[in-house]
């Protein structure tokens, strides 16, 4: 499996701030704790299932309502 280039790593903090959300509210949507989200924002690799979920959400394939209604 190929590693992502540094330029391909999402800038989660920038995206989150552009939405006007704090870490807790941003990451909670994806089932991630604030501390876990902080680690991803600091450069820890994002687990593949989470990365896929976030990409689908960003592409509009998964809505905020879908995220909110997930168990």
| The pLDDT of residue 17 | 96
Nearest partner of 12 among 49, 51, 48, judged by Cα: 51
Cβ neighbours of 33 (radius 10 Å): 12
Tokens 């991630």 identify what position?
32
- pLDDT, tens digit (0-9, with 9 covering 90-100), for 15-51: 999 999 999 999 999 999 999 999 999 999 999 999 9
pLDDT at 70: 85
The residue extents of the domains of the chain are 12-69
């Amino acid at each position: 499996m190929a590693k992502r280039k540094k330029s391909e790593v999402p800038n989660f903090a920038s995206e989150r701030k552009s939405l006007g959300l704090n870490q807790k509210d941003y990451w909670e949507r994806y089932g991630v704790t604030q501390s876990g989200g902080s680690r991803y924002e600091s450069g820890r690799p994002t687990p593949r299932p989470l990365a896929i979920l976030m990409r689908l959400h960003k592409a509009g394939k998964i809505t905020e309502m879908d995220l909110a209604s997930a168990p």
